[in-house]
Amino acid sequence: MPSFRLRLFVIVVLVAVAAVVAWKFFQQKPITVVVQPVTRGTVEKVVANTRAGTLKACRQANLSPGVGGQIARLQVSEGDQVNKGQLLLELWNKDLTAQLVLTESQLSTASAHAEAAHQRAEIAAREANRLLRLQPSGAVSEQETDNKITEVNIREAEYAAAKADAETSRAQLKVINAELERTRLIAPFTGIVAKINGELNEFVTPSPAGIATPPTVVLLDTNCFYVTAPIDEVDAPDIQVGMKARIILDAYGERHFAGTVRRVSPYVLDVEKQARTVDVEVEFCQAPENTILLAGYSADVEIIAKVSPDTIRIPTQTIIDGKKVYVYASKDGRLHSRDITTGISNWEQTEVTGGLAEGEQVLTSIDQDGVEDNARVTITEGP
């Protein structure tokens, strides 16, 4: 009997040892994962453009002469800095300049005739007044006085006609000057000549109604720039004029420039049926220092639609299905799935309004093999 109990005890011990060995052998091996602590800070809701935006000059003038003709004078080249009122080019207009000289001569002659008629009218008026004073004494007859008064009226009519001729010549002069102005391109503001579509002695024509033709000269005001970018129509209601924004130019890498929303388009563009957008314009808060800006640069914008300061936040990449994270528990060295509630977010940080406390550690390597609820892990902290 004692030998039976001894054998049973040995069997039980052996089974227990085998179970422990099997558990040790088959238990899950810990995996190394990356975690980050739950922190407190600022989270921004950011709206970004769906396609690349474009840097534009605040003013751009596509200039063409008012009439067609041959370029006789080309005063500028592409890239030239010009001042407001400066002549850019002039079409052949010798016929108009000849008419101008002729009309100026006619005006001078008409003005001289008017002055002579004025002098004759004044002389006739003085003589008529003298006769009227002498008539009561009988020194002159009433007929002589009437004749002189009639002459005064004639002289005054001649003077009026001469003045009218001079005014007609002056009006004709204005017409010719206006026609001459249409043969010249004048800079409407100070800027840089961006493009010239034409060479000396080439013919240019104004754009007919309904038919777009290239402008002869494109002038840019490079003292001011802004970015126009397409925003998804879903995000458009969150954007208002005056919101702060960041401008990122591809030419300057990850460098950000402070900006402000200056305009939100009042209509939706449906150029791409599957991605309807709203154009938004963002201007620089101040001109960037030591930075060369060129109209046409590719640009992106990040519009700050909402801000939550001093809030609990976690990296956005740690959230699964928008409502769950894995939290590392140091007391048992395991991961535990936990549901959370979130507030505003961007592609870097998400606000947590419930389910987590500051200082807890959440899993960032969520796509790693072996990650599951209650998994044993060893941790390294991510950036």
In a domain, 152, yes or no: yes
pTM assigned to the model: 0.64
- What domain count does the chain have? 4
Give the range of the structural domain holding residue 375, as residue numbers without chain letter.
27-42+309-381
* Residue 22 belongs to a domain: no
pLDDT at site 25? 47
Mark whether 73 and 210 lie in a shared domain.
Answer: yes
Q: Verify that 296 and 229 share a domain, yes or no.
A: yes
210 and 71 within one domain: yes
pLDDT tens, 273-312?
A: 667 889 999 999 887 877 888 888 999 999 999 999 999 9
Residue 263 lies in a domain: yes
Predicted pLDDT of residue 352: 94
Q: Is 127 inside a domain boundary? A: yes
What one-letter code names the amino acid at 42? T
With a cut of 50, list the residues of the chain below it in pLDDT: 1, 25-26
Query: Domain boundary residue among 182, 197, 231?
Result: 182
Give me the CATH number covering residue 79. Answer: 2.40.50.100
Helical pair 94-134 and 142-181, crossing angle rounded to 10 deg: 160
Task: Please check whether residues 259 and 123 belong to one and the same domain.
Answer: no
**Position 158, amino acid:** E
- Same domain? 191 vs 78: yes
Is 14 a domain residue?
A: no
| Together in a domain, 299 and 320 | no
Q: pLDDT, tens digit, for every residue of 323-353?
A: 899 999 988 888 999 999 999 988 889 999 9
Which two tokens mark 138?
Answer: 């009988």
Integer Rg of the chain from CA: 45
CATH number of the domain at 233, please: 2.40.30.170
